[in-house]
Structure 1
Amino acid sequence: MDTDVQSYGNFVDTCVKIGKSLLPSQIKQPPNLVCTSPVNLARTNMLESATDDLPAAQSNLRTVYDEQEDTRVNNILSTFDKCEFTSALHYAWKLVKQLSGKRSNTVFIQGEDRLASWKSHFENLLNSDNNTNVPVTIDPIFETHSNIPTGKFSQAEVNTAIKQMKHGKAPSMDSIPIEVWRLPKLKKCLKRFCNATLEGNRLPEWGISSIVPVPKKGDLTIPDNYQGISLTQTAAKIYNRLLLNRIRPELEKVLRPNQNGFRPLRSTSSQILALRRIIEEIRNHQKEAAIIFIDFRKAFDSINRPTMFKIFNAYRIPEEIIKAFKIMYEDTSAVVLTPESETDLFSINTRPSPGKRQELTDIPQPLLPRQCIPVLLHNHLRVGRRPERDLQLQ
């Protein structure tokens, strides 16, 4: 390897080439029941039968079809007993989709140039004006976190970050899943790539995201009715996890005690229960109460990026770590993946965040609302201030 930046592309090409030569091909889905041999034979007999024999032939076709359906369902359900307990829930949903025939990659966008439609839609969405010119001043409100390390990543840190990543997740355009990075020899290569990015030499491939349109509801010929799921390279996720592991222990000490969302080993269940009990008692005593629910529109993408890094400064995060985060937002681009093909590459000014239903490991995305909201509350909820006025997340 000549340099870390140049060698990453060669490394990806080598992994893909070896994978294609050694790994088995993807198992094809079982054929549709209407195309199985017993059903086809029964259908042929029905079509060729005389008029008097047609009712019996139709009854025989239904019987054969039901038998084949029962056999298929039983075979699918029997595979559930073979899966590991840790992946049982994921596998159960996979079986549900398989049994119901639901496909998440169904795309109905119409038009002669559908790829251009997808590119235009997401390019406009990810490059929309986000009040970037609004000046925001945020003063430091916490003490200096001198315990946050800023040096190169150690092999132990890399190994820990890899263990924290979930397996079985879809890779990005490099086609390298987390299982590959868990190989002992490749862990050392990953440390080199992460340290090169930490020193300001981000790998160009890490700035490219793959967007998969997933149908939501409504008219599926309209791009707005699709949710874009962003797939970033697994190695880039591990790099972000390394940064999170460095700052999380210190930030946990200054977060509000009543903030439980996006925090490890904590749940909002007790707060929901407390709120419900309050509502029940208010009703029992026939009292009145005002309850406010704030739903931030596109919470992950609506946060102004320059303001976000000012908030990092408010937490007294070392400048080296802030620069390490910033580099992942510079010169970013994306492509849209569809069953037909992929669109041309287009630049974006706000890095696309993973879908709300994806695992929140593409850090610092979960860090955004969790760290921004406490600063907002600290600046607005003071004696003599009226937080109900002009309370908005810049």
Structure 2
Amino acid sequence: MCVYIYIYIYIYIFGLGIRNEAGQRLIEFCQENALVITNTLFQQHKRRLYTWTSPDGQHQNKIDYILCSQRCRSSIQSAKTRPGADCGLDHELLIAKFRLKLKKVGKTTRPFRYDLNQIPYDYTVELRNRFKGLDLIDRVPDELWNEVRDIVQETGIKTIPIEKKCKKAKWLSGEALQIAVKRREAKSKGEKKRYKHLNAEFQRIARRDKKAFFGDHCKEIEENDRMGKTRDLFKKIRDTKGTFHAKMSSIKDRNGMDLTEAEDIKKRWQEYTEELYKKDLHDQDNHDGVITDLEPDILECEVKWALESITTNKASGGDGIPVELFQILKDDAVKVLHSICQHIWKTQQWPQDWKRSVFIPIPKKGNVKECSNYHTIALISHASKVMLKILQARLQQYMNRELPDVQVGFRKGRGTRDQIANIRSIIEKAREFQKNIYFCFIDYAKAFDCVDHNKLWKILKEMGIPDHLICLLRNLYAGQEATVRTGHGTTDWFQIGKSTSRLYIFTLFI
């Protein structure tokens, strides 16, 4: 009760005019929510109190307010209007000055991105020269890849410029800004007629500039659409309309309590992801790890095909090396990657970097404070995609023999759109002949995240897939590590035991 009286007294003493019914409702709202009306706390001259002026300039009232929590009352230093501010409205600019003691937040390190449109010739020359000095014979895959990775990273940082974020274009023209200056001068001198005329002129020119600005953007969007430049098309759309990004400022723990500290948030994400991909303790993998009966060796033409077929302009994995840094080297990169892939093929041992994933939480529907309401997108090393594409191509011939013709999705040349067209045709025929029709839709929760690896190896064995290929897959998924990249930095690396995100062999379970 004392709190309410305290707020009521401060509102009543330094207000302006007679309080009406709306003002009384505002006071009641503040009492119920323990709020303070800041621009009634300080004694000011009348010209610092009113927030609205009638069109004829004869009446001034206070109808705009800044509210804050009562616990922040001591942080408010002043609250007043600035009648001379050039807002172009009949309302005055209301300003509150406050001072807060905030906790120092450490700067999070974001992975930088190379400007891949400006890869200099110096990069290719230096990297080719350094690749010539590599010993590619009889090397451990992990050791060879680490040396290649370090060479590419050092050369890239030294020679390739970092991608800079483009500044947002301003649509107000110089003519509009000059009129805005004249309008401000007219207002400060009290020239009401001239101010009114300049304000109308400013609004007219501003509307014209805005229309022209967005018109030019739309023309660029249409041109990109006509030319088939999908990447530029959607980039221009995002720049024009802006994109909302849900901020991960806080997250709930397993008991529903809010976590706001950076370290607590990272630990919660690690805890959630570890639990999601945790392997069953009773389901151990007893694989010995090496097969002596090998499939035919990998050819350089396979490596070249795999490298060229990898999609560009994609986020890189934990090593920070985009595939474009290899593709620009052409045959020199093919030779080095072929050597790494061939060593993996013979030893069935993968570089640890190629078994690591960086999870990016992407919010979906629902409360963004719940970890379960996020997609976890996995970023893997682009270099590992070369070996994965070769391995997937070798597996594909066996899988195509087993999968039925009606199976679509995750298969080349068989999309779900064809099935949608078939369903529509069935519905039309059923309505024509007045027949009942029943559809069953099954949604597998966390489908790619909950595949039992041992059952998968058993299915592959029953399908007649060679032991060598199965061994490569088992060793790829054994000892996988991951980290979660949050808005507060990345978590520690941790083991994961369930995931088929690297290859689309999940279709075997459907």
Deviations 1:109-153 (A, max 9, x none): 324423542442354234337784788xxxxxxxxxxxx972332
Between the aligned partners of 2:366 and 2:176, the Cα distance in structure 1 is 35
1:274-313 superposed matches below 5 A: 274-313=422-461
Residue number among 326, 336, 345 corresponding to 2:474 in the alignment:
326
- Three-state SS of the structure 2 residue aligned to 1:127 is helix
Is the aligned partner of 1:367 residue 2:505? Answer: yes
How many residues get paired?
Answer: 350
Q: Corresponding residue for 1:161?
A: 306
Between the aligned partners of 1:5 and 1:345, the Cα distance in structure 2 is 18
Q: Corresponding residue for 1:128?
A: 276
Q: Corresponding residue for 2:7?
A: none
- Three-state SS of the structure 1 residue aligned to 2:447 is coil
Q: Is the 8 A contact 2:364 2:373 kept in 1?
A: yes
**Larger proportion of strand:** 2
1:195 partner amino acid: Q
- The alpha carbon displacement at 1:82 in A equals 7.6
Between the aligned partners of 1:66 and 1:334, the Cα distance in structure 2 is 51
Between the aligned partners of 1:38 and 1:20, the Cα distance in structure 2 is 43
- The alpha carbon displacement at 1:68 in A equals 4.9
Between the aligned partners of 2:165 and 2:294, the Cα distance in structure 1 is 48
Which deviates more, 29-38 or 233-242?
29-38
Between the aligned partners of 2:201 and 2:476, the Cα distance in structure 1 is 63
Q: Is the 8 A contact 1:34 1:40 kept in 2?
A: no
Q: Is the 8 A contact 1:176 1:234 kept in 2?
A: yes
Q: Is the 8 A contact 2:360 2:484 kept in 1?
A: yes
- Three-state SS of the structure 2 residue aligned to 1:150 is coil
Larger radius of gyration: 2
Q: Corresponding residue for 1:96?
A: 237
Between the aligned partners of 1:340 and 1:131, the Cα distance in structure 2 is 27
Q: Is the 8 A contact 2:358 2:380 kept in 1?
A: yes
1:182-221 superposed matches below 5 A: 182=327, 183=329, 184-198=331-345, 199-221=347-369
- Three-state SS of the structure 2 residue aligned to 1:262 is coil
Between the aligned partners of 1:46 and 1:342, the Cα distance in structure 2 is 50
Distance 1:229 1:372, change over 3 A: same
1:1-394 superposed matches below 5 A: 1=134, 3=139, 4-31=141-168, 33=170, 46-50=183-187, 51=190, 52=192, 53-63=194-204, 65-66=206-207, 68-70=209-211, 72-73=213-214, 76-77=217-218, 88-104=229-245, 106-110=246-250, 111-128=259-276, 132=280, 150-182=295-327, 183=329, 184-198=331-345, 199-351=347-499, 353=501, 362=502, 364=503, 366-368=504-506, 370-373=507-510
Cα RMSD of the aligned pairs, angstroms, is 3.3
Between the aligned partners of 2:438 and 2:466, the Cα distance in structure 1 is 41
Q: Sequence identity of aligned pairs in percent?
A: 22
Between the aligned partners of 1:195 and 1:86, the Cα distance in structure 2 is 40
Distance 1:282 1:351, change over 3 A: closer
- Three-state SS of the structure 2 residue aligned to 1:170 is coil
Deviations 1:299-350 (A, max 9, x none): 2112211111111112111111011111221212222223443222222222
1:181 partner amino acid: F
Q: Is the 8 A contact 1:247 1:317 kept in 2?
A: yes
Between the aligned partners of 2:170 and 2:160, the Cα distance in structure 1 is 29
Distance 1:69 1:114, change over 3 A: farther
Q: Is the 8 A contact 1:333 1:346 kept in 2?
A: yes
Q: Corresponding residue for 1:378?
A: none
- The alpha carbon displacement at 1:65 in A equals 4.3
Q: Which runs of 5+ in 2 are unaligned?
A: 1-133, 251-258, 284-292
2:248 partner amino acid: F
2:273 partner amino acid: L
1:246 partner amino acid: R
Between the aligned partners of 2:438 and 2:158, the Cα distance in structure 1 is 64
Between the aligned partners of 2:469 and 2:340, the Cα distance in structure 1 is 16
